[in-house]
Amino acid sequence: MNRRPQLPPIQGRRFDIETLQDTAFSLAAQATKGPTWLRHGGKIAYVVLTEELLDTLWPNPQKAWSVDEMPHRYDELLLRGLTAALSDEKDE
């Protein structure tokens, strides 16, 4: 029997939004390795990747964030600004 060699997939596993509650941890684990596709109704609806990977691929400080992340992101930016302002005062 001639068997074809088992080659690694070109794209990572695609996850379905309908079964996301069962596969959320696998999705998060794969998104740290590279972009992951999330399907809705059998069609690719979202590309999931980590913030660190996004910063590497698209280093733009004005990128958009989801509504759920905005309060956390604003807190983080405020703390960075306050820390920078306090460090500048200590230098003077």
CATH 3.40.1620.10 in the chain is located at: 10-59
Which residue is listed with tokens 């600004």? 81
Query: Which residue type is seen at 7?
Result: L
- Predicted confidence at residue 11, as pLDDT, reads 60
pLDDT tens digits, 24-81: 888 888 888 878 888 888 888 888 877 777 777 777 777 666 666 667 777 888 888 8
Q: Which CATH class is domain 10-59?
A: alpha beta
Q: Residue 33's closest CA among 15, 11, 18?
A: 11
Q: Which residues, including other chains, have CB under 8 Å from residue 73's CB and lie 6 or more apart? A: 65
User: In this predicted model, which residue has the larger pLDDT, 1 or 82?
Assistant: 82
- Decide if 50 contacts 33 (C-beta within 8 A): no
| 68 secondary structure, DSSP code | T
C-alpha pair distances (Å), 25 with each of 20, 53, 73: 9, 18, 23
Residue 27: what pLDDT? 84
- Determine contact, residues 37/14, Cβ cutoff 8 Å: yes
